[in-house]
Amino acid sequence: MKSLMQRALNLAQLQGAEYADIRVVHNRTESLVVKNGVVDALNFNESIGFGVRVLVDGAWGFASSRELTEAEVDTQTALAVEIAHASALVKNGRVNLGPPVTSQGVYHTPLKVDPFTISLDQKLQVLLQADAEMSRVAGVRVRRGNLTFIQEHKWFANTEGAFTEQTIVETGGGLQATAVGDGEVQVRSFPTSFGRQQVTAGWEMVEKWDFPGNAYRVANEAAALLKADPCPSEITTTLILGGDQVALQIHESCGHPTELDRVFGSEAAYAGTSFLTPDKLNTFQYGSPVVNITADSLRPLGLGTFGWDDEGVPAQSTPLVKEGVFVGYLMSRETAAQLDRASNGCMRASGWNRIPIVRMTNVSLEPGEWRLEDLIADTDEGIYMETNRSWSIDDKRYNFQFGTEIGYEIKNGKLGRMLRNPTYTGFTPQFWNSCDAVCGGKDWQMWGTPNCGKGQPGQVAHTGHGAAPARFRNIRVGVLKAP
Amino acid sequence: MFGEEEARKLIDKVFKRGGCQSVEILLLSNDQSLTRFANNTIHQNVAERDADLIVRCFIGKRMGIASTNRFDETALDEVIARARENAAASPEDPYYPGLPEPADYQTVRPYDQATASYPPKSRAEAIGIVCRLAAEKGLNASGAFSTGRSEVVIANSLGVFAYHAATSADFQTVVMSADSSGRAHASAWKAADIDAEALGSEAVQKAELSRNPRAVPPGEYTVVLDPYVTEDLLHMLNFHGMGAQAVFEGRSWMNDRLGQKAMSAEVSIWDDGLDLTGLPMPFDYEGVPRQRVEIVSQGVVQGPVYDRYTAARMGKVSTGHALPPTARGFGPIAANLFMAPGIATLEEMIRSTRKGLHITRFWYTRLVHPRDCVITGMTRDGVFLIENGELAYPVKNLRFTQSYVEALNHVEMVGKETRLLASEFGGMAVRVPALKLSAFNFTGATV
């Protein structure tokens, strides 16, 4: 492998590249889906290939192929150089990558039980047992359970002397119950929505999640939501969000706006830009003093946990928001150099056939002192919401509107009646400045977002978000009018 | 790219390995390039050459799937063995309808050799035109120009063999100032049909017109929608209810509306995988010929599209809208949607509006509630207040929360020109006109 990679780097330099790197990625994904008692999918997918990125005349070119042969490496390297020459036809300046990267080493996701050593039968039994539990609840039209296991083996080398080899293992799974009745559709998920919770770990996490043990409760909640009262419409109240919804809130309203490529306009036509412009660094009150947000690719279990990013920059921890003040960005070598900073290792590609772009690693809300039960007891009136159902935010990451699967009224420090179709809306800095309490301890956990879209051609990144329930004051709740 | 003959040889190698009672093999090949620009500079420029072999193995009513992009003899052994292993581990699916028999396919060839071999220099030159137009006005252009070719080959052990090759081109640009922006987008299967200068001019004009926007309060407005907005209406209605699986599971906007008039009589929507004015493909990923399907006719909801599985469950016949096996969890989907044009021009729609908003783009639209297809999202890249039949001034972006079914019930006028727009999800496209709606509900604003 190393000689093939070195061949590409040598050839790129011979053809005029001032910098080149190559990644070889071998991805194996196993996914199992059980739906209404039937195996809906039992798939094993394998993808391998390489991508060569070159800098010629101060402009980028990239070419990639599934064929790992010397001839194809030569062809694609030459194509990358040709593409870079074309890029140079429309440029305003030269790319500056800042200091060289010379990382060396091997990384493997720490895990107790390799999920690929567990039999298909054992995996299916988990899902079939959970399905049987959900089937005990009347009114649930669709029962779905899934498991996903990913092993990504990747090698990186650049013309500055870096060579790294990594094996990242991810384990994911989830349950979803859809109840239908009287023109209403309600969904309840576990551990979180949009398919699954996912972490960098092994089979031990599937045992911890205990899908059969949670299935009946999840299905019951879906059925109960059909008859629950609608969330009050267009009121302003205190909002307590469950940890998984806080994770989504961090992802959309802190993670994306701190991506420095967005700030510089690289995503303007597609994913959008950001309100967090460099003039706000170290001065802008992004949130209240209890809000501390960190990008940390060293944290256990996170989907953004690795040895090195896809430019060979070592994993590290960087504060983004410190005691409410905006202090940092997610950066690549090129974007960091534009601020006279060094990359904090946030360049990630979704596979061998994509260039790395600035992505979240594990962007987490640091734990506070509260416990959820104490936080609810401390709240006279408000609404508790958990598990995302709908999310939309403007192109500067400012105005947002989110909906969750379930809500509960809070009255005199206690959870009251269940509420269906809860939604809330706000503006990012006002929202985080209204945060007056963050939970910690057992309420804080690492959530996985395995479906983050960005870039053209599209890339789906896997990001991590440590989060716990948190309380927000004076939030506009209930955008959806009750039928 | 394989070509039909090489593809057949590769697929025959898999068939010969045997071990399944019946087997389906799908070969997807892609050779794609994309040049991306921002701040009037090309900043990302990529090419990709990939192919996937997806094997569905059946043992009785047990099914297993495996795929690989390695095609050496060992890899082919492994992929069929893995698919067989997965089938053996699966319990029987009593609803499995079996593989389709061979069928006749209509010849549709959306393939252009010049587009297939479109060089990076030509993409850069087209982008250079847009960047120059923007720079001349002190604006920043960004966007992407992609070109490529692809193959879909489907074969099964009952004798189905279908081959389709296509080319594609897509150009999108957003041109921005500090407080304004404008967008243009076009898709085609011939790169020569992409007029970069016209697209650049369109985006520049909108960016110029939308400078110094003023705030208007949220509320209900009459709206005139560019085709880019109509595209979003159709995509969301498609993803959340035009497929039979959503209807079967009771979560489609079609549930309780089948056969009823739910939209304006001005609205007719159909799917046609054979129409060369779209991005056609004559069969689906099971090898079933695509049928033209009327989705909504003069406002009356006709029905969803089917694959073999949903058709069997619902006592229907597949309309040829299956996705690849690796995406079958989504159920069937309409891939070539058309909305019937009307007789109005965009100017006539604006002129006929006493007070309303001209919306050029929706963005980040998400489902809030399924049965009425209630969607929230933002406006973006140019919104204008219409007063007494004229664009009065640009306005700041608004958030909406609106049933798309109800919105299409408020259609008053339909544009006579349509635009072909490819989805970011590969292989899907719509051809749509501009619309005038008597009411649309805006629920918030941004700065």
Q: pLDDT by residue (tens digit) across A3-46?
A: 999 999 999 999 999 999 999 999 999 999 999 999 999 999 99
Token reading at A391: 């999310």
Domain end (from B143, B175, B209) = B209
**Domain count within chain B:** 2
Do B197 and B248 share a domain, yes or no? no
Question: How far apart are the CA of A217 and the nearest CA of chain B, in angstroms?
Answer: 21
How far is it, in rounded angstroms, from Cα A110 to Cα B19? 37
- Which residue in this structure is represented by tokens 């209807």? B247
- Cβ contact B414:B341 at 8 Å: yes
Token reading at A62: 């990239």
Rounded to the nearest integer, the mean pLDDT of chain A is 97
Q: Is A440 exposed, middle or buried (CB count within 10 Å of its CB: 0-12, 13-18, 19+)?
A: middle
Question: What are the distances in angstroms from CA A100 to CA A50, A166, A399, A459, B44?
Answer: 22, 20, 39, 26, 21
In a domain, B293, yes or no: yes
**Minimum CA–CA partner of B123 in chain A:** A86
B143 and A269 within 8 Å at the Cβ level: the answer is yes
**Interacting residues of B100 by C-beta distance below 8 A, sequence separation 6+:** B156, B158, B160, B286, B287, B288, B308, B318
Identify the three-state secondary structure at position A468.
coil
CATH number of A2-227: 3.30.2290.10
Which among A59, A180, A457 has CB closest to B34? A457
Token reading at A441: 């301890």
Which among A87, A396, A457 has CB closest to B124? A87
- Cβ contact A64:A54 at 8 Å: no
CATH number at residue B202: 3.30.2290.10
In a domain, B214, yes or no: no
Q: Which is nearest to A466 in space by CA: A344, A367, A381, A369?
A: A367
- Cβ contact B394:B211 at 8 Å: yes
Which among B47, B326, B443 has CB closest to A43? B326
Do B286 and B370 share a domain, yes or no? yes
- Which residue in this structure is represented by tokens 């809208």? B321
pLDDT at A210: 98
Domain ranges of chain A: 2-227, 230-477
Report which residue type is found at B401: T
Does the pLDDT value for residue A482 go beyond 70? no
pLDDT at B35: 98
Do B246 and B291 share a domain, yes or no? yes
Instruction: Kindly list the residues from chain A whose CB atom is less than 8 angstroms away from the CB atom of residue B41.
Output: 90-93
Does the pLDDT value for residue A110 go beyond 60? yes
How far is it, in rounded angstroms, from Cα B103 to Cα B249? 30
DSSP string for residues in B173-186: EEEE-SS-EEEEEE
pLDDT at B18: 83
A66 and B51 within 8 Å at the Cβ level: the answer is yes
**Structural domain span for residue B389:** 219-445
A410: phi then psi, degrees, rounded to nearest 5:
-110, 125
What angle do the packed helices A70-87 and B120-136 form, to 10 degrees?
A: 20
For chain A positions 324-383, those within 8 Å of chain B (CB to CB) are 353-355, 357
B124 and A264 within 8 Å at the Cβ level: the answer is no
Identify the three-state secondary structure at position B313.
helix
Query: Across-strand partners of A251?
Result: none
**Interacting residues of A81 by C-beta distance below 8 A, sequence separation 6+:** A12, A15, A16, A17, A54, A56, A61
Q: Which is nearest to B32 in space by CA: B144, B108, B125, B131?
A: B144
Query: Across-strand partners of B30?
Result: B50, B150
pLDDT at B149: 97
Instruction: Kindly list the residues from chain A whose CB atom is less than 8 angstroms away from the CB atom of residue B365.
Output: 392
B128 and A264 within 8 Å at the Cβ level: the answer is no
In a domain, B172, yes or no: yes
- Cβ contact A260:A328 at 8 Å: no
Which among B86, B368, B376 has CB closest to A44? B86
For chain B positions 86-105, those within 8 Å of chain A (CB to CB) are 86-87, 89-91, 93-95
pLDDT in tens, A284-302: 999 999 999 999 999 999 9
pLDDT in tens, A363-422: 999 999 999 999 999 999 999 999 999 999 999 999 999 999 999 999 999 999 999 999
pLDDT tier at A483 (50, 70, 90 boundaries)? very low
For chain B positions 254-273, those within 8 Å of chain A (CB to CB) are 256
- Cβ contact B174:A299 at 8 Å: no
- Cβ contact B336:B429 at 8 Å: yes
Cis peptide before A457 (omega within 30 of 0): yes
Instruction: Kindly list the residues from chain B whose CB atom is less than 8 angstroms away from the CB atom of residue A188.
Output: none
Do B224 and B205 share a domain, yes or no? no
Instruction: Kindly list the residues from chain A whose CB atom is less than 8 angstroms away from the CB atom of residue B52.
Output: 47
- Looking only at the bridges linking them, the beta strands covering B41-59 and B22-38 are antiparallel
Which helix or strand (DSSP H or E) is residue A426 part of? strand A423-427
Which among B66, B91, B146 has CB closest to A44? B66
**Interacting residues of A194 by C-beta distance below 8 A, sequence separation 6+:** A388, A451
For chain B positions 314-343, those within 8 Å of chain A (CB to CB) are 325-326, 328-329
- Cβ contact A267:A459 at 8 Å: no
Question: How far apart are the CA of B343 and the nearest CA of chain A, in angstroms?
Answer: 32
In a domain, B362, yes or no: yes
Do B183 and B260 share a domain, yes or no? no
Query: Across-strand partners of A358?
Result: A347
- Which residue in this structure is represented by tokens 């967090």? A276
pLDDT in tens, A389-401: 999 999 999 999 9
- Cβ contact B339:B345 at 8 Å: no
Q: Which is nearest to B376 in space by CA: B319, B423, B441?
A: B441
Do B337 and B430 share a domain, yes or no? yes
Which helix or strand (DSSP H or E) is residue B71 part of? none
pLDDT at A234: 83
Radius of gyration, alpha carbons of chain A: 23
- Which residue in this structure is represented by tokens 């069928």? B103
Residue A46 touches partner B, C-beta closer than 8 Å: yes
DSSP A15: T
Question: How far apart are the CA of A65 and the nearest CA of chain B, in angstroms?
Answer: 5
Strand extents, DSSP E, A57-200:
59-65, 104-108, 140-158, 163-181, 184-190, 197-199
Q: What is the pTM of this model?
A: 0.96
Token reading at A64: 């990639």
Question: How far apart are the CA of A336 and the nearest CA of chain B, in angstroms?
Answer: 15
Strand extents, DSSP E, A233-329:
235-241, 293-296, 317-322, 325-326
ipTM: 0.96
Question: How far apart are the CA of B96 and the nearest CA of chain A, in angstroms?
Answer: 10
How far is it, in rounded angstroms, from Cα A292 to Cα B374? 35
Q: Within 10 A of B4 (CB to CB), how many other CB atoms are there?
A: 14
For chain A positions 68-107, those within 8 Å of chain B (CB to CB) are 76, 79-80, 82-87, 89-93
Do B383 and B342 share a domain, yes or no? yes
Q: Is B120 exposed, middle or buried (CB count within 10 Å of its CB: 0-12, 13-18, 19+)?
A: buried
Residue B79 touches partner A, C-beta closer than 8 Å: yes
Q: Which is nearest to B298 in space by CA: B271, B337, B269, B275?
A: B269
pLDDT tier at A481 (50, 70, 90 boundaries)? low
Q: Within 10 A of B246 (CB to CB), how many other CB atoms are there?
A: 25
Domain end (from B150, B179, B209) = B209
- Count of A-B CB contacts under 8 Å: 260
Residue A396 touches partner B, C-beta closer than 8 Å: yes
Which of A42, A77, A94 is the best residue to mutate to test the B interface, defined by the most B CB atoms within 10 Å of its own CB? A42
Do B175 and B235 share a domain, yes or no? no
Which of A26, A87, A431, A459 is the best residue to mutate to test the B interface, defined by the most B CB atoms within 10 Å of its own CB? A87
For chain B positions 395-424, those within 8 Å of chain A (CB to CB) are 397, 399, 401, 424
Instruction: Kindly list the residues from chain A whose CB atom is less than 8 angstroms away from the CB atom of residue B2.
Output: none
Token reading at A398: 């400012």
Residue B138 touches partner A, C-beta closer than 8 Å: no
Residue B185 touches partner A, C-beta closer than 8 Å: no
- Total H helices, total E strands in chain A: 10, 24
Do B202 and B248 share a domain, yes or no? no
Q: Is A480 exposed, middle or buried (CB count within 10 Å of its CB: 0-12, 13-18, 19+)?
A: buried
Residue B173 touches partner A, C-beta closer than 8 Å: yes
A89 and B397 within 8 Å at the Cβ level: the answer is no
Its sign, for the CA torsion A466, A472, A476, A477, is: positive
pLDDT tier at A480 (50, 70, 90 boundaries)? low
Do B202 and B291 share a domain, yes or no? no
Which among B70, B94, B142 has CB closest to A265? B142
How far is it, in rounded angstroms, from Cα A290 to Cα A457? 38
Tell me the mean pLDDT per 10 residues along chain B, length 447: 96 92 97 98 98 96 95 96 94 92 95 97 98 98 98 97 97 97 97 98 98 96 98 97 97 97 98 96 97 98 98 97 93 97 98 98 94 96 97 97 98 98 86 98 87
Q: Within 10 A of A409 (CB to CB), how many other CB atoms are there?
A: 18
Residue B368 touches partner A, C-beta closer than 8 Å: yes
Instruction: Kindly list the residues from chain B whose CB atom is less than 8 angstroms away from the CB atom of residue A89.
Output: 42, 121, 124-125, 128
Residue A402 touches partner B, C-beta closer than 8 Å: no
B91 and A128 within 8 Å at the Cβ level: the answer is yes
Do B63 and B171 share a domain, yes or no? yes
Q: Which is nearest to A153 in space by CA: A338, A239, A27, A266?
A: A27
pLDDT in tens, A248-287: 999 999 999 999 999 999 999 999 999 999 999 999 999 9
DSSP A314: B
- Cβ contact B399:B443 at 8 Å: yes
Q: Within 10 A of B19 (CB to CB), how many other CB atoms are there?
A: 14
